[in-house]
A and B are shown apart, each in its own frame.
Chain A
Amino acid sequence: MSTTKWNPGSHLVSPDGKWYWDGVSQEWKPVAQPAPKPEASLTPPAAPTSSEKSRGLDSFVGTIRSEDLASGQTVLVWARWILIGTGLLLSFWTPKDLLTLQVQLAAIIALAFGNFYLHVQLLRGRPALDNVVYGASIADIAVVTALVLVQGGYPSPVFIFYFAAVVGISVAFPTVVTAGYTALVVGVYGVISLATATTDEYPAVFIRLLTIAAVAVCGNLFARHEAERRAEAIRRHTEMLDEIEQKSSTGGQPDVEHS
C-alpha cells in the first residue's frame, strides 16, 4: 500500500473534487482512495533535477505554476473558440471559391475537435498532455497561416486572428515559451508578408508584426506580475499565521527566549 496520505490542505484538487495531484508520483489520484503505488513506499522519491523541471508544461504541476498553467489554458481555449466561431461565420460569408472554402472548413473543424478535447480535459480537472497543448497552439498558428496563404498572403485580412492566438499563448505559457511562439508567428507571417507585399506596403507589415509582439509582451508581463503578487500574498499570509501561532503559544506575551 502506498504511504501517501490524502490531505486536502496540501494538494491541488480537480474541479470536480474527485482527484488530487500527487506531487511525489506526479499523477492525478482519486480523492477517496489514494492510488496504490508500491514502489513509492519502498524507495524514496528521487528529487527532480533542474533539467527535468525546465522541460514540458507538467514541470509546473505541483508548484504554484501549475495554477498558472490551468488558468492560462482556459483563456487559450476560449481564444480558440473565438477563432473557430468567427472563422466559421466568415467562411460562409461570401465565399470566393470551392477550394478556399474546403481548406477553411477542414482546418477550422480540425481545430474545433482539438479544442473540444482540451476543454473537456479542463472541465474534468485533468491535465492535458504537454504535447497536445503545445501542438494545439502550433495548430492555431498553422490554421491562421494556412488561411493567410490561401488568401494571397499580405492582402488577407485573416491575419488579425494571430492576435487572439497570441493572447492565449502569452498568458498560458511561461516567458521563454511565449517568446518562442511569438517569434514563430512574427517570423512566419513576416516572411509571407514580405514575399507577397509591395515595398509601399512594408510599413504596414512592420506595424502588424510590432503589434502582435506588443500583445504578447503585455499578456506575459501581466501574468508575471500576478505570479509575483500571489507569491507575496502567500508570504504575508504565512507570516501572519506564524505571528498568531507565536502569540497563542506564549499566551500573548512576547517570546523573550526567541527574540
Chain B
Amino acid sequence: MSNTREVRTAKQAEEEDVFFGQTVIMWARWSVIVAGIALVLWTSTNVALLTQTMPFFLVLMAVNFFLHGRFVMGSPLNRTVVTVASVIDIVLITAIVVLWPGSHGLNNQFYVLYMPVVFAFALVFTRKIEVAYTVFAIVAYAGACVLTGTVPFDLGNEDKILVMRLIVIAAMGFLGNYYFRIQRDRLARASKGATRWASSTASRV
C-alpha cells in the first residue's frame, strides 16, 4: 500500500487548495462587505459622510464580484491574484480604521473585520505566506493605532487593549493555518490510501 503512487501531484494539490480556499476567502470578504455597508447606511447622518465612507466597501465589492464570478464560471484565479486581493482587504480595513469619520485607530470598532479575513487567508496558504500575511495585518493595525495617536505607550489600559487585539489577530492566523496543515496532511494520506491519523495527529498535538 505504501508503494502506491499518490493520485494527485503536489502542484495539483496546491491548485486545489487555492480553488477550495477561495470560497472561504470570498465568503469572509462578503461578510466584511455586508457588515460595512449595513453600518455605513445605519450610521450616516449626512450625505457627505455617506459618500466618504461607502467607496471603501464598493471597492471590496467590485473585487469580490470579479473573484466570485470567475470562481462560479469554473476558472478561479491563481494564487498571486488571490493574495493581492487579500492584501487589498487588509489595506482597506486599515484605511477604514485610520480614516473613518468620528473614531480613529484604537477607538474604531471596525478592527473586528480583520478576524474573518486573516482566518480565511490562513485556511488557504502555506505557513510562510500565512505568517507574512498575519504579520502584515498586525503591523498594519498597530501602525494605524500609533499613527492616529490613540495609543499612549504608557502600559496603561489602551496599550493592554491593543496587545489583546493583536494577540487575537495572530491567533486567528495561527489556528487557521494549523488546521490547514492538518487537513493537507490528511488529504495527502487519503490520496495514498492510508486510513490512519495516528502518527501525524500525535506529532501535531
Contact = CB atoms under 8 A, between A and B. Distances in A.
Contacts, number: 197
Nearest to A74: B205
B115 A233 contact: no
A79 B115 CA distance: 14
B110 A207 contact: yes
A233 B7 contact: yes
Interface in A180-233: 203-204, 206-208, 210-211, 213-215, 217-219, 221-223, 225-226, 229-230, 233
Interface residues of A, number: 62
Interface in A119-135: 119, 122-123, 125
Interface in B106-132: 109-110, 112-113, 115-116, 119-120, 123
Interface residues of B, number: 64
Contacts of A79: 171, 175
A10 B113 CA distance: 45
A213 B34 CA distance: 12
A207 B200 CA distance: 38
Contact of B179 (A72, A158, A234): A72
Contacts of B155: 93-94
A71 B187 CA distance: 12
Interface in B160-205: 160-161, 163-165, 167-168, 171-172, 174-176, 178-180, 182-183, 186-187, 190-193, 195-199, 201-205
Contact of A71 (B167, B174, B201): B201
A9 interface: yes
